[in-house]
Structure 1
C-alpha cells in the first residue's frame, strides 16, 4: 500500500538494499561448496593414484634409461671423433713434411742427379729410393683419405647421437613433470590422512635371517638392509629407492646384473619364469601391468619399495592388494 504523497520508487529502495545485504552475508561458495572427503574416500582416491603412479614412474624410468643410453652413445662417438681428428692432423703433418722433402730432393739431387751417376749400382740404388718414396707417399695419402672419411663418419654419427640425446632429454623432462604432479597429489592425501612416512635415508635396515642361500641370500641381505629407507621415484639408492631400483641393486650385490626398469627386468627373465605356486626366496614378483616389482622373502612375504609416502618394507603377499602377473628367478 502506497503512502500518500510518496513516490513508489522510494518505497522499493529498502527492499533492494535488504536483498543486497542478504547476498553479501551469505557464506562464500554457498551450497555449491564441495564437502570434505571422508577417510574412506581419501583412501580410495589414494589407491587409485598409487596404481596410476606405477605406470607414470615406469615411463619415467624408461625415458631415463633411454636418455642414459643416448648420452653414452654420443659420448662414445664424440670420443671417436676426437681420436680421428688427432689421427688426421698427424697424417696431414706427415704429408706436409713429405712434400717439403720431395721438393728439396727434386731441386738438389732429383732425376738429373740420378741419370748422371757414373756407377750403375748407384743409379739403381737411387731409383729404388725414389720408388720407395713414391710408395710411401701413396700409402700416406691413402691413409689420410681413409682417416678423413672416418672422421666425417664419426662427426655425422656424433651429431645424430646428440640429436637423439636431446630428443630423449625432452621426453624425460615431460615424464618427470607427470611424475612430479602425481607425487604432489599422493603427498597431499597422505598428509591429510597423517599417513606420510618420511623414512630414514641413512638407516641400516634389519638383518635377513631367512632360509635363502647363495646369490639369493646376498640379494635379500642387501634388500633387508634398506628397510625403512624412503620410496623415491627414480631412486637407485643409497638414500632412497623405487621398486625396480631396489631390485636391481639387491641382485647386483648377489652377482646378477639386472636391467633398470620393471619392463626390462620382466623381459630379461623371459626364460626364467617360475610358477607363483613354486616361489623361492629371492624370486622377483611382478604386478599386473608390470608397474611394480618386489622380491619374495619366504614365508609368504615380500620385500619391496611400495610408493610415495612409504618406505622399503616387508609385507605379507596376502596384504599386497594387487594381483601378480608372474615371477622370475634370477
Structure 2
C-alpha cells in the first residue's frame, strides 16, 4: 500500500528511541507488518461499509413497510369505527335488535359485513364503507408480515455490521500500537482546511479535486464519509458528489458501478478513480503523476505520487 511505503521512508528520517537500537531490521519488520495490517484492514473496512449499506437499505425497507402497516392499521380502525356506528344506528332504528352485540364484538370483518347486509337495507355509501373495511382488513396481516420480515432482515444485517466493526477495532489496536511504537501515528486535524488545488483538471473534475484537496490533513476514519474524516471510498464518494456525480459507497461498489467507464492506467486524467489490486483501496488521480487519497488508520488525507502505489493497481474508472 502507498502509505506503508511512505511511512517506511518517513521513519528513515525520524529519530528512533533506545528501544529500537538496530533501526534497519526494525524498519523492515515494521514495513512488512504494516503492509499486512493495512491490506487486511482495507478489506475489512470495505466489508464493514458494505454491511453498513445493506443494513441501511434493510432498515429503510422496514421503516417504509412499517409506516405503510401503521397507515393501513389506522385506516382499518377508522373504517371499523364507521361500520360499528352503522350497526349502532341500525340497532337504534330497530332494524336488527338481536344481532348488535355479536356484530360489535366480532373481529371477523366478513362476518360483520354479512351480518349488517342481512340486517336490513343499507345505502350505497354504507355498502362502499363495508367493502372498503373488508378489503383493507384483509390486507392488514400481509402488511404486518412484510414489515416483520423486513425487520428480521435488518437485524441480520446489523449483526453483520457489528461483526466487521469488532474485527476493525482489533486491527486498529494493532496498527496504533505499532505506529505509536515507531512515533509515526498521525491523528490528523478534523478541522483542517486542506490545501489549494492548482493542477490541470477542468470541468467537474476540477470541482472534485478542489474538494478533495480541501480535505487534506483530516484523519482517516474507517467508515468515514466526512466532513471530519474519511476512509478511502468515503473521500472519493464525497469528492465526486461535489462534482455532481453520485457514486455508491464502497470500493467494490464503485468499481462495479464503473464497469462501463474503465480507462487505461496509461491514459489517466484528473478526477479518475484508481483502484488497487484486490479492490481494497481507491484514490483520485490529481494530474502530474499525483493522487489524493485517505490511506489508513494513523494517517491523514494526503497528496502523494502515483508511483507510490508501485505495481499494485488493478485499473481506473472515469466517472
- The aligned residue for residue 305 of structure 2 is 316
SS of 2:267 mapped into structure 1: coil
TM-superposed CA distance for 1:324, in Å, is: 1.2
After superposition, where does 1:87-126 map in structure 2 within 5 Å?
87-107=75-95
In the superposition, the TM-score normalised over structure 2's length comes to 0.82
Residue segments in structure 2 that go unaligned for 5+ positions in a row = 1-21, 97-119
| SS of corresponding position for 2:265 | coil
Q: What secondary structure is seen at the aligned counterpart in 2 of 1:295?
A: strand
1:51 to 39, 50, 61: 39
Residue number among 174, 177, 181 corresponding to 1:188 in the alignment:
177
Q: In structure 1, which of residues 278, 291, 296 is the aligned counterpart of residue 267 of structure 2? A: 278
TM-fit CA distance, 1:101: 2.6
Match of 2:296 in 1: 307
Tell me what 1:225 maps to: 214
> In the superposition, relative to structure 1, how do residues 196 and 321 fare at CA in structure 2: closer, same or farther (>3 Å)?
farther
Q: What CA distance in whole angstroms lies between the structure 1 residues aligned with 2:300 and 2:225?
A: 14
Where do 5+ consecutive residues of structure 1 fail to align? 1-34, 109-129
What pairs with 1:140-289 in structure 2 (closer than 5 Å)?
140-289=129-278
Whole-Å separation in 1 of the counterparts to 2:278 and 2:309: 15
DSSP 3-state at the match of 1:277: helix
Query: Could you state the TM-score of these two structures normalised by the residue count of structure 1?
Result: 0.79
**In 2, distance between residues paired with 1:151 and 1:236?**
39
CA–CA distance in 2 between the matches of 1:46 and 1:103?
A: 83
Secondary structure (helix, strand or coil) at the match of 1:150 reads: helix
Residue of structure 1 equivalent to 2:69: 81
**Aligned residue pairs: how many?**
274
Q: 2:6: which partner in 1?
A: none
SS in 2 for 1:271: coil
Aligned mates of 2:95, 2:37 — CA distance in 1: 86
Pair 1:135 & 2:124 matched: yes
d(CA) in 2 for partners of 1:93, 1:215 = 58
Offset at residue 184 of structure 1 (A): 0.9
Q: Which structure 1 residue ranges, 4+ long, deviate > 6 Å from structure 2?
A: none
Deviations 1:275-309 (A, max 9, x none): 11111111111111111100110011110000111
Higher mean C-alpha deviation, range 223-232 or range 148-157: 148-157
CA drift of 1:208 comes to: 1.1
CA deviation after TM superposition for structure 1 residue 138, in Å:
2.8
> Which residue, 24, 28, 38 being the options, matches 1:40?
28
Query: 1:139: how far off?
Result: 1.9
Paired with 1:38 and 1:267, the residues of 2 have a C-alpha distance of 39
Matches of 1:218 and 1:171, distance apart in 2: 36
d(CA) in 2 for partners of 1:153, 1:210: 58
C-alpha deviations, 1:71-111, integer Å up to 9, x for none? 11111111111111111111111111222233344559xxx
- How big is each residue's C-alpha offset from its partner over 1:3-32, in whole Å with a ceiling of 9 and x where there is no partner? xxxxxxxxxxxxxxxxxxxxxxxxxxxxxx
